[in-house]
A and B are shown apart, each in its own frame.
Chain A
């Protein structure tokens, strides 16, 4: 293991180099582009044996990757924002055909207004697309989660595609020290991929993507739900195996001073880092503040979340996206997780950081302060919104 100075995008590319996928198809989009730039360099320099396909759109990128994966290849792509939105039709086809595609997604706001900066509206719009979703706090997690993703996706009892998220620019373009596995260790952890069925490798002919109407469609969808359930069964053994190599832990949700906390904030991706800094500060002042960071958003770990949050008095849920006219995506899940708790804590939703709006430590201190004072409402609150 060695430490390298890498951006979040560089960390994703480094993981992709070590996975050495058979096929990668991608279309450039900010802020994902540096992942593919770095990976294309690896291809050019002969560091990987990947067939890199340059396509004319993200819809084509995902379609090409689906074709390659059906053929029995390890296949990857990467995208952001409206690129993911353009893929959406075939994003669902990938999970429906049970293809273990791994895709880093660098979170960026959806149009309109057009915006290149971070929020989570792109991947939250895909939360029901049947993909496993892993969110990464920093470049190190963007790297580590790629390995979790590969093993989860290819597990024969799971066989679902995985998106690995990181925050656009905040993580993707910032250089951090990242501990990188030795190539051999990484290769051993990933292992060989031997699909049971494939268009090329199978001895018996097989058809992918055939029509199913009212006779079998429902049954096929039910199997996808079973595959999601199987993520619970196999997640911790895979995570433990990775921990043995890295010395880092990979809980589905990461508790940070939650045990005795009176107020716990819930966040995904880089906001968790900023909140940790504030929790440290408040703890020094003797305030019982905590954070619960969600790594695994699909399938959603309801019981783990319930376990960590039920003892607190107030929960503040940070959403970097909207579900217009409804509870925002993370808030909705947290409320679901706490619904059956005996005396559930009060839950306050906060919308923050849309289109790359900064989240400041002082903002988080204010949130903690109002929740310690018990000022919790049924309405959404906004962080950093003018007026």
Chain B
């Protein structure tokens, strides 16, 4: 439920921290990256290039990339462009 005009902080200020946890921007997406794990060599290019930092990785000496976090992925496709193994393919977002 969005707040009314008298309830929000003045001047468009954000007065709380960690507000991005509640403000999920993934619904802006029109294209969705499909991750094909069999092709992935875990080079981390997609992880570093992702402007939203929404590709999680495992910890440890040889980290592996995991499935994209679709709460925040906006479907920009940079990961697919950066991938040297075509392990990421951009597909039309399915309509609800």
Which A residues fall within an 8 A CB radius of B? 96-99, 159, 197, 204-210, 212, 215-220, 222-223, 226-227
Contact = CB atoms under 8 A, between A and B. Distances in A.
B11 A208 contact: yes
How many B residues touch the partner, as a band?
Answer: 10 to 19
Interface string B1-32: 01111101111111111000000000000000
A220 B11 contact: yes
A135 to B, nearest CB: 26
B8 A205 contact: no
A197 B9 contact: yes
18 contacts: A97-B11, A159-B11, A197-B13, A204-B17, A205-B17, A206-B13, A207-B13, A209-B12, A210-B13, A216-B8, A218-B5, A219-B4, A220-B8, A220-B10, A220-B12, A223-B10, A226-B6, A227-B10
Contacts of A98: 10-11, 13
Contact of A219 (B8, B14, B16): B8
A225 to B, nearest CB: 10
A197 B4 CA distance: 20
Nearest to A159: B10
B75 to A, nearest CB: 17
A223 B13 contact: no
Nearest to A95: B11
A156 to B, nearest CB: 9
**Residues of A contacting B: mostly:** loop
B39 to A, nearest CB: 36
B8 A204 contact: no
Contacts of A205: 17
A96 B15 contact: no
Contact of A204 (B4, B10, B15): B15
A227 B6 CA distance: 11
B13 A208 contact: yes
Nearest to A227: B10
Given A96-B12, A209-B12, A216 B2 contact: yes
A216 B17 contact: no
Nearest to B18: A205
Contacts of B5: 218-220, 222-223
Most A CB within 10 A of own CB, among B6, B8, B12: B12
Contacts of A159: 10-11
A49 B53 CA distance: 44
A204 B15 CA distance: 7
Nearest to B12: A220
A217 B17 CA distance: 20
A97 B11 CA distance: 4
Contacts of A97: 11-13
Contact of A210 (B2, B4, B12, B17): B12
What are the nearest 7 A-B pairs in CB distance? Answer: A98-B11, A219-B5, A207-B14, A222-B5, A97-B11, A220-B12, A98-B10
A99 B11 CA distance: 8
B62 to A, nearest CB: 36
A57 B11 CA distance: 25
A179 B8 CA distance: 43
A106 B12 CA distance: 30
A218 B6 CA distance: 12
Given A197-B15, A220-B10, A220-B11, 13 more contacts: A98-B13, A99-B11, A197-B13, A204-B16, A204-B17, A206-B13, A206-B15, A210-B13, A216-B8, A220-B5, A220-B8, A223-B5, A223-B8
A208 B9 CA distance: 11
Nearest to B5: A219
Contacts of A218: 5
B92 to A, nearest CB: 23
Contacts of A212: 12
B5 to A, nearest CB: 4
Given A216-B2, A219-B4, A210 B10 contact: no
A257 to B, nearest CB: 42
Contacts of B17: 204-205
B8 to A, nearest CB: 6
Nearest to A220: B12
B10 A216 contact: no
A123 B57 CA distance: 55
B1 to A, nearest CB: 12
Contacts of B3: 219
A69 to B, nearest CB: 11
